[in-house]
Structure 1
């Protein structure tokens, strides 16, 4: 049995207000979630880190492989009415959130689909809950607030109005971001940028950067 619940994804309706997105609670659940969290890489800094810079092993590695697989891609294509063949994927992993993260943004134009998979257990904090927003100026004008707990999956189509962000939170907040992007040049550029940011974070693990402040995984 796989780690991800493709049937639950297929059964989840696509929402279109204020843009195309869907939320699947328990996309990873039960014993699978426990195992993946146990094998989550040891991250001691804030910011988004490419898997190549981390010790990826065990069930966490298996999870990434399933997300790269044809069944997941096909389900996303069906939901969003897209053909993603020939479109490369890009992953980053996050273990901690800084106080200045979560600023409202839409994601870069080079991204086609953004996938966020949260790998925390129960989430008690008020901050750090991603909001699907109707504008780029008001964090309270939200269509939905997504708690980053329990293997919850959030997927949205990047557009000029795909605004999202969250209230400030500082502390452990585990997430995987996966994107289908325009071409391999995007992957190379973004992974190089994230590697450089990860290097800076090793020097100052919980220091903020302007780019990191816009991240709202």
Structure 2
């Protein structure tokens, strides 16, 4: 049996400003480096919205599921094919369920990758009720302080009510369980450093609805 790629051994449960999990040392150092160096670059599209509930601009590529319920591995390097296979498998599902205490046995899984360039952002919001838990993984080997792009955990719906900031640094991540007060946002990435992008992946467990109805996999989410 191969060693799991994703580890939760250095995960801490936090309660400020709501229950969330800070994941450190997600990968072995060699795996973290390989994933950063081969982060997908093709197949993204800009998604943007300005509305009363949530506004954003970023670049998005779904990896699982895509049309027909398949996994999109086109152009993915081997480390990423391995990662997608693992996070859509039973051992990873069981590990997230044990950590969070959530019943994830039949929860559909979505896997997406995101790029935030200059002036990309995500407004304060609480995830929609069909979303159970999201594992956000970061893939920037370095991220300059003061350049924006931090995940902001908020005490309220105000973008100024910042309780915790999480920089998008490689080999770290967060697990966010959906709650009525789990307000969060992504700080606008500042213009300036040419080519600098905030790189992340998300694994999302959603509620299973009757007749197999779930949220469409290509709909942008936090």
Same structural fold, with TM-score higher than 0.5 when normalized by the shorter chain: yes
Residues 37 and 60 in structure 1, CA contact (< 8 A), matched pair in contact too:
no
The residue number in structure 2 matching 1:32 is: 31
Report matched runs for 1:11-26 at 5 Å: 12-26=11-25
* CA spacing shift, 1:163–1:156, aligned 2, 3 Å: same
Residues 28 and 151 in structure 1, CA contact (< 8 A), matched pair in contact too:
yes
The residue number in structure 1 matching 2:177 is: 157
Match of 1:133 among 151, 154, 163: 154
Using the size of structure 2 for normalisation, the TM-score is 0.76
The residue number in structure 2 matching 1:4 is: 6
| Displacement after TM superposition at 1:29 (Å) | 4.3
Question: How many residues are aligned here?
Answer: 190
| More contact order relative to length (CA 8 Å, sep ≥ 6) | 1
Match of 1:147 among 148, 163, 167: 167
CA–CA distance in structure 2, aligned partners of residues 98 and 190 of structure 1: 25
| Displacement after TM superposition at 1:93 (Å) | 0.7
Report matched runs for 1:86-101 at 5 Å: 86-101=106-121
Residues 106 and 158 in structure 1, CA contact (< 8 A), matched pair in contact too:
yes
Would you tell me which structure has more strand in proportion to its own residues? 2
Would you tell me which structure has more helix in proportion to its own residues? 1
Using the size of structure 1 for normalisation, the TM-score is 0.78
How far does the alpha carbon of each residue in 1:142-188 deviate from its partner, in whole angstroms, 9 at most, with x for none?
Answer: 2321110122121011112111113210541111111100124224x
How far does the alpha carbon of each residue in 1:5-62 deviate from its partner, in whole angstroms, 9 at most, with x for none?
Answer: 2323xxx332223222111122124111111122221146542211156532310111
Instruction: Give secondary structure in 2 for the equivalent of 1:2.
Output: coil
| Displacement after TM superposition at 1:98 (Å) | 4.9
Please list every run of 5 or more consecutive structure 2 residues that lacks an aligned counterpart in the other structure.
46-57, 67-71, 191-195
CA–CA distance in structure 2, aligned partners of residues 143 and 65 of structure 1: 34
Q: For the aligned residues, what is the CA RMSD?
A: 2.2
Please list every run of 5 or more consecutive structure 1 residues that lacks an aligned counterpart in the other structure.
195-214
User: Are 1:185 and 2:206 counterparts?
Assistant: no
CA–CA distance in structure 2, aligned partners of residues 142 and 29 of structure 1: 31
* CA spacing shift, 1:145–1:29, aligned 2, 3 Å: farther
